[in-house]
């Protein structure tokens, strides 16, 4: 009898320890200072993770209604937003998109600097290769770039689009120019991190961001042939190729 009683106590102790372990695990997926259950949709990113309440529509797009929790499971934001974890995009693991669906505005949370940019942009775009820590943002239908750590606009929103984000210190942006009364023509401009344009000879347009050696593809506007230029605006190879030449170590 005593032996059976001891075995029963051991089983109860194991069940109790298992219950405690389950409770500890559940504690890591609930909102701190919140009265409802949540679930974590991202791994720990510099001590932060995304957690929220299930929603059938938004979770399909890797989005969730919720908050960003710090290492102590405390909310990093003063209120809940629509959040999107960008870890499925290579190079964007430390960025969390913050969305105000009512006003259709976008912001972001940078887990490296713990900076929160409240939703105030019409759109936000993150590059997988952007080492300049600049974020492409849209205001009044025009694009520019802001600093990831401060939210400050570094390059004014004056472009019609971003063709290729910052790579090796340069970005390729789109500028529409009037060439007829009822039509526009898109021109590509190569700019550096301060917004200065690399000027090529008249009639030659940059067609790629530079590789590590500072060379980029250019195109002759009249013939449509491709050549090679550099970040100083010098033509290294005159446009004579029907196909875009391959640049070694393009990125």
Q: pTM score, two decimals?
A: 0.76
Region 129-152 average pLDDT: 88
Q: For 48, left (φ over 0), alpha (ψ -120 to 50), or beta?
A: beta
Q: Is 175 exposed, middle or buried (0-12, 13-18, 19+ CB in 10 A)?
A: middle
- Cα–Cα distance between 211 and 126 in angstroms, integer? 19
Which of 19-33, 46-60, 117-131, 203-217 comes out lowest in average pLDDT? 19-33
Cβ pair 187, 168 in contact under 8 A? no
Counting runs of H as helices and runs of E as strands, what totals does the chain give?
2, 19
Cβ contacts of residue 179 below 8 Å, gap of 6+? 185
Regarding beta strands 63-69 and 49-53, do their DSSP bridges make them parallel or antiparallel, or are they unpaired? antiparallel
In the Cβ-directed half-sphere of 171, how many Cα atoms lie within 13 Å?
31
- Cα–Cα distance between 243 and 249 in angstroms, integer? 18
Cβ pair 128, 209 in contact under 8 A? no
φ and ψ at residue 120, rounded to 5 degrees: -145, 0
Planar angle of CA 216, 218, 221, nearest 5 degrees: 165
Strand segments (E) across 24-78: 39-40, 49-53, 63-69
In tens, the pLDDT along 10-32 reads: 555 556 666 655 554 444 444 33
- Cα–Cα distance between 7 and 187 in angstroms, integer? 80
In tens, the pLDDT along 77-135 reads: 999 999 888 766 666 678 889 999 899 999 999 988 899 999 999 999 876 566 678 88
Closest-CA residue to 53 (of 84, 85, 30): 30
Region 208-221 average pLDDT: 94
């Amino acid at each position: 009898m005593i032996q059976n009683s001891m075995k029963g106590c051991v089983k109860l102790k194991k069940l109790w320890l298992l219950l405690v372990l389950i409770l500890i695990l559940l504690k890591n997926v609930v909102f701190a200072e919140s009265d409802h259950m949540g679930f974590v949709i991202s791994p720990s990113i510099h001590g932060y993770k995304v957690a929220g309440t299930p929603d059938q529509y938004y979770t399909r797009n890797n989005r969730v209604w919720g908050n960003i929790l710090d290492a102590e499971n405390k909310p990093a934001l003063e209120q809940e937003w629509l959040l999107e974890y960008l870890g499925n995009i290579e190079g964007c693991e430390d960025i969390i998109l913050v969305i105000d669906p009512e006003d259709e505005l976008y912001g972001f949370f940078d887990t490296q600097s713990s900076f929160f940019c409240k939703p105030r942009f019409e759109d936000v775009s993150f590059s997988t290769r952007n080492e300049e820590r600049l974020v492409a943002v849209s205001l009044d239908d025009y694009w520019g770039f802001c600093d990831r750590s401060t939210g400050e606009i570094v390059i004014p929103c004056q472009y019609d689009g971003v063709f290729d984000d910052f790579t090796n210190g340069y970005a390729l942006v789109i500028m529409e120019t009037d060439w007829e009364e009822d039509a526009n023509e898109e021109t590509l401009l190569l700019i550096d991190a301060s917004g200065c344009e690399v000027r090529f000879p008249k009639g030659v347009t940059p067609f790629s961001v530079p590789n590590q050696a500072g060379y980029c593809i250019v195109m002759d506007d009249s013939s449509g042939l491709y050549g090679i230029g550099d970040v100083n605006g010098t033509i290294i190879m005159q446009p004579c190729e029907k196909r875009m030449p391959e640049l070694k170590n393009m990125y």
